Amino acid sequence: MATTVRLKVLPRVESRGHRYVWLRNLTQAITIGILLVVPLSGLARVDLYEGDHRMLYREATLKEGLAAVIIGIAALYLVTFVINFACGRMFCGWGCPVGFLNRLADVANLKPDKRQARWKRWRDAAGPVGHSTLLTVSCMFWWTSPATYLAFDSPVALAWAWGLTLTGVASLAALGWWWRWGFCIRACPVGLYYSFVAPSQSFGIFFREATERGAGDTDACLHCNACIKVCPVDLNPMDLAEAIPARGGVSVSDAPANNHCLKCGDCIQACEMMIDLASERRGIDEVPLRFGFYDGPQRLVRRRGSGEIVQSPQVSQA
Each residue's pLDDT tens digit, 66-93: 999 999 999 999 999 999 888 989 999 9
Confidence of residue 317 (pLDDT cuts 50, 70, 90): very low
Rg of the chain, C-alpha, whole Å: 23
Q: How far apart are CA 27 and CA 103, in angstroms?
A: 14
Contact 260, 244 (CB under 8 A): yes
* Sign (positive or negative) of CA dihedral 88, 94, 100, 106: positive
The amino acid at 32: I
For the stretch 95-125, pLDDT in tens is 999 999 999 999 998 877 777 788 888 888 9
Q: Is this prediction's pTM over 0.85?
A: yes
C-alpha angle with apex 53: 48 to 54, nearest 5 degrees? 145
The pairing of beta strand 309-311 with beta strand 255-256? unpaired
How many Cα atoms are found within 13 Å in the side-chain-facing hemisphere of 90?
25
